[in-house]
Amino acid sequence: MDASLHKMIKSETLEAMKTFDVRDDDIWLITYPKAGTTWAAEIINRIHQTGNTEYVAAEKNLLFYPEFSIPGRKPLHEEFADKPSPRTFVTHLPGERLPPQLLQKNAKIIYVCRNPKDVAVSFYSHHKVDPYVKDYTEWSQFYEDFINGAVAFGSWGNHVTYWWKRREQKNVLFHLRGHEEGPERKSKNDC
């Protein structure tokens, strides 16, 4: 993943993620963009709010995109480091760019995967409205970049494969979105 592909990700932040302190009670929701991030975040948010009769938006409870640097603020990973436990992070970073401690500690990892055709169409539309990523006027150019992993957050295939290979780890839940009703389970930890 090339940090230059998303204007809110700085190379210093990617470097800092190598030493980010992961806690055993952290929850990490990891998705490729447009794979169901908001959908899954809202489910987690609702679980966090058990017993709370007043809805609180996920943005208030979950720590979205520690990889981002917002102008005029310190990097989000620094803001999030001191938040009280349990912390829930939402990220699109490829597995190899996440803190190595994530696989060494007992943090819970939820990976949501979605059909690449659906992801590509949605991500193409997203690129038309997000000022922090390249704007595409032609589907054919976006498609070529998507297939070659030359879009923000890199290759869909590499992103998914990283977590697919780790789906049997006790702290990893790999969820294949769109197959909720199907007979196949993609992880022994799927619930």
* Active-site residue list: 92
Q: Can you spell out the DSSP letters for the chain?
A: --GGGSTTB-HHHHHHGGG----TT-EEEEE-TTSSHHHHHHHHHHHHTTT--S---HHHHSEE-TTB--TTS--HHHHHHTPPSS-EEEE---GGGS-THHHHS--EEEEEE--HHHHHHHHHHHHHH-TTS---S-HHHHHHHHHTT-STT--HHHHHHHHHTTTTSTTEEEEETT-TTSS--S-TT--
